[in-house]
């Protein structure tokens, strides 16, 4: 018996990293997965390796190997029609939708006055507007199912505390707090909870981006902004984030909505 037997979970950004880990953890607990990923490079400003179709297919293989059922489609969170189609297909196959994990996002670096307009705009379009479109595509199916449910928005410590070199990222991640709280208030009457999580660094291609080290070499005065309080494990494992996601998705968190959960090794308090 798994904690999520009979439940259906929609996850964005499943090709690798945190999204893949969330999909695997839910599948091992008995959930069926609806998953999407763009599965290709989306920005010339990103300095870490971007996801591929091979990564996407590997996630599907791993979920199925774990005994999970999955409807996986290549789709961009900026494309409302593609998001709705993926949700509709998954609900048609699995019969319901219980949990949403709005995980897809990108990160890049620049001082704000040197940042090309395109760099700012594309990140906000993916990290903020993409979450709005994800929730917009999923909420009607959750309401129609009539089972309540949980939405987890993946923000960042940068959504609690602005970071140098990331004005665009902070703007998007702070914006997710507003979306989270507004959605929680609008969906409360349907017993659908909405919360955001705020990780610090995670051992994923994005979380270990070597491009950030080059920025710190150029601007060492920035370093104190990134210091954690808990120094024994300054970079989290994907499972650390998934632990929080599964908790917020579960009945153990039935009294929590409209909240921001810091998973940041104390960095937001430095």
Considering the domain boundaries, does residue 187 fall inside one? yes
Considering the domain boundaries, does residue 3 fall inside one? no
The pLDDT value given to residue 238 = 97
Considering the domain boundaries, does residue 2 fall inside one? no
Q: Domain span at residue 70?
A: 8-269
* Percent of the chain whose pLDDT exceeds 70: 100
The pLDDT value given to residue 234 = 83
Number of other residues whose CB lies within 10 A of the CB of residue 189: 8
With a CB cutoff of 8 Å and minimum separation 6, the contacts of 118 are none
Look at the alpha carbons of 124, 261, 208, 243 in this order and tell me if their dihedral is positive or negative.
Answer: negative
Considering the domain boundaries, does residue 250 fall inside one? yes
Residue 79's SS3 state is coil
63-84 in b/e form (b: 16+ CB < 10 A) is beeeebbbbbbebbbbbbebbb
Question: How many separate domains does the chain show?
Answer: 1
Which H or E run contains 230?
none
Most distant CA atoms of the chain, gap in Å: 54
Considering the domain boundaries, does residue 1 fall inside one? no
Number of other residues whose CB lies within 10 A of the CB of residue 255: 8
CATH at residue 29: 3.40.50.720
The pLDDT value given to residue 233 = 86
Considering the domain boundaries, does residue 62 fall inside one? yes
Q: How far apart are CA 232 and CA 108, in angstroms?
A: 26
Residues taking part in catalysis: 169
Read off the pTM. 0.97
How many alpha carbons lie under 13 Å from residue 229 in its C-beta half-sphere?
9
Query: In whole angstroms, what separates CA 239 from the centre of its chain?
Result: 14
Considering the domain boundaries, does residue 259 fall inside one? yes
Q: How far apart are CA 4 and CA 31, in angstroms?
A: 5
Considering the domain boundaries, does residue 110 fall inside one? yes
Residue ranges, the chain, pLDDT below 70: none
């Amino acid at each position: 018996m798994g904690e999520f037997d009979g439940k259906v979970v929609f996850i964005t950004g499943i090709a690798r990293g945190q999204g893949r880990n969330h999909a695997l953890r839910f599948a091992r607990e008995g959930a069926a997965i609806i998953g999407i990923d763009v599965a290709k490079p989306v920005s010339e400003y990103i300095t870490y390796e971007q996801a591929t179709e091979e990564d996407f297919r590997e996630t599907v293989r791993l979920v199925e190997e774990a005994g999970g059922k999955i409807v996986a489609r290549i789709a961009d969170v900026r494309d409302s029609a593609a998001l709705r189609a993926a949700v509709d297909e998954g609900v048609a196959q699995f019969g319901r939708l219980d949990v949403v994990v709005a995980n897809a996002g990108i990160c890049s670096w620049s001082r704000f006055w040197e940042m090309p307009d395109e760099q700012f705009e594309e990140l906000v379009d993916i990290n903020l507007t993409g979450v709005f479109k994800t929730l917009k595509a999923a909420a009607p199916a959750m309401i129609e199912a009539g089972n309540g449910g949980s939405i987890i928005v993946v923000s960042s410590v940068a959504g609690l505390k602005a970071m140098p070199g990331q004005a665009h990222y902070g703007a998007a991640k702070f914006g997710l707090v507003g979306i989270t709280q507004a959605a929680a208030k609008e969906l409360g009457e349907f017993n659908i909870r909405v919360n955001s999580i705020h990780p610090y660094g995670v051992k994923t291609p994005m979380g270990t981006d070597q491009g950030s080290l080059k920025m710190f070499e150029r601007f060492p005065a920035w370093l104190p902004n990134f210091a954690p309080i808990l120094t024994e494990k300054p970079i989290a494992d994907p499972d650390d984030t998934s632990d929080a996601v599964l908790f917020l998705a579960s009945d153990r968190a039935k009294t929590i909505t409209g909240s921001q959960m810091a998973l940041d090794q104390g960095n937001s308090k430095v």
